[in-house]
Amino acid sequence: MSADGNAGGTASREQGSNVLVAPDADALAAAVAARFVTRLIDAQSGGRVAHVVLTGGRVASAVYRAVAESPARTAIDWGRVEFWWGDERFLPEGDAERNATQAWDALLSKVDVDRAKVHEMAADTGQGAEAAAAAYAEELKAVPAFDLLMLGVGPDGHVASLFPGFPQLAVDDTSAVAVHDSPKPPPTRVSLTFPALAKAAEVWFVVAGEDKADAVQTALAGGDVPASTPKGTERTLWLLDNAAASKIH
Ligand SMILES: O=C(O)[C@H](O)[C@@H](O)[C@H](O)[C@H](O)COP(=O)(O)O
Domain boundaries defined on the chain = 39-241
The pLDDT of residue 17: 72
The Cα 61–Cα 77 span in angstroms is 21
Looking at every residue in the chain, the average pLDDT score rounds to 94
CA-proximal residue: ligand 1, atom 9 (nearest): 152
The pLDDT of residue 16: 64
pLDDT surpasses 60 at 12: no
Name the CATH code of domain 39-241 (choices 3.40.50.1360, 1.25.40.20, 3.30.9.10, 3.40.190.100). 3.40.50.1360
Predicted confidence (pLDDT) per residue in 194-222, tens digit:
999 999 999 999 999 999 999 999 999 99
The pLDDT of residue 1: 73
Predicted complex ipTM: 0.98
Q: Which atom of ligand 1 is nearest to the CA of 57?
A: 16
Predicted confidence (pLDDT) per residue in 108-134, tens digit:
999 999 999 999 999 999 999 999 999
Q: Which atom of ligand 1 is nearest to the CA of 86?
A: 5
What number of residues does the chain have? Answer: 249
Nearest of 165, 198, 182 to residue 88 by alpha carbon: 182
Predicted confidence (pLDDT) per residue in 59-107, tens digit:
999 999 999 999 999 999 999 999 999 999 999 999 999 999 999 999 9
CA-proximal residue: ligand 1, atom 4 (nearest): 56
The Cα 115–Cα 120 span in angstroms is 10
- How sure is the predictor about 4, in pLDDT bands with cuts at 50, 70 and 90? low
Q: What is the DSSP letter of 162?
A: B
**Ligand 1 residue neighbourhood (C-beta within 6 Å):** 55-60, 87, 89, 99, 152-154, 158-160, 184
